[in-house]
Copies of this chain bind each other. A is one copy, B any other.
Amino acid sequence: MSSPEIEEVRQRMIAAPGQSFELSSRDSGDRELFPDKKHARKQLQVDAGAIDELQDLLYACRQRALLVVLQGMDTSGKSGVIRNVFAQTSPLGMKVKAFKAPSKEELAHDYLWRVHEAVPPKGIIGIFDRSHYEDVLVVKVRDFAPAEMVEQRYDQINQFEKLLSENGVTILKFMLHIGHEKQGERLKERVTEPHKRWKFNPGDLEDRKLWPDFMDAYETMVNRCSTPWAPWYVIPSDSRTRRNAAIARIVRGTLEDMNLDWPQLELRAEDYDFS
């Protein structure tokens, strides 16, 4: 059994820019590309190793940055992706930012202010664990901002991401797509399994009650913000292993597509005194 080609994974999971997207057309339990779990796990190991090597190259070249945006409902596995896909990558080459509810200082600025600050510099892989998309997700569902302001944000975000992409930042956006039933199981695990209890937050159950509203907001987000310069990938996430394997494939492919090469430095030993 062979792993799916990277292009195959991309084609299946991308929300093609300019095309209408329906979340209901995507199966959060999709196994077609990775029917065998064990094989997916093996492929993930191989890809995580390749990502590590490509990160070294990215750092040596300092020409580009990679920004990985992770969005998904609670338990969809944002931290699991960070832990597993980048398990072999040196923390020196990574900049991870988890976005929480904004501080008073942050609220006194536009919502992209703290986001721009966190963008990775050239040479670095940045990970956003949640992101500016919260400003069109929870903010929209819970009416934390007027509807007209939220409406303006899709275009503001597209323009912001365009700026980044035109200035050396490659953007990969992953929606971790988990089913309603699966989330219920995982939240319950957080209560029943003692070593998972630290993760339990009763507030997550409040969001769960608004599930259809959140799904609407996710669908609109993907529809409005999957652009040629920063497309959304919708990753079936009911299976942790397949989710990680799919993301690793796409991250690896994206780094390979940068066609980076070790900087050619003209150094001659005879020019230096090593005595």
**Could you tell me which A residues sit within 8 Å of B by CB distance?**
62, 105, 108-113, 116-117, 119, 121-123, 149, 152, 156, 159-160, 162-164, 166-169
Beyond A116-B117, A159-B160, 13 extra complex contacts between A and B, CB < 8 Å: A62-B108, A108-B121, A109-B119, A109-B167, A112-B116, A113-B117, A113-B119, A149-B166, A156-B163, A159-B162, A159-B163, A160-B160, A160-B163
Query: Which residues of chain B have C-beta atoms less than 8 A from A111's C-beta?
Result: 167
What is the oligomeric copy number? 2
A62 to chain B, nearest CB (A): 7
In Å, the complex CA distance between A113 and B115 comes to: 10
Q: Which residues in B have their C-beta under 8 angstroms from that of A149? A: 166
**Chain B nearest Cβ from A63, distance in angstroms:** 10
Residues of B within 8 A of A119 (CB): 109-110, 113
Q: A112 and B163: CB pair below 8 A?
A: yes
A164: B residues at CB distance < 8 A: 110
CA distance in complex: A152, B119 (Å): 20
CA distance A109 to B67 in the complex (A): 12
- A156 CA to B164 CA in the complex, in Å? 10
| In the bound complex, CA of A105 to CA of B117 (Å) | 12
> Which of B105, B108, B156, B167 is the one whose CB lies under 8 Å from A110?
B167
Within 8 Å CB of A123, what residues of B? 108
Return A145 CB to nearest CB of chain B, in Å. 10
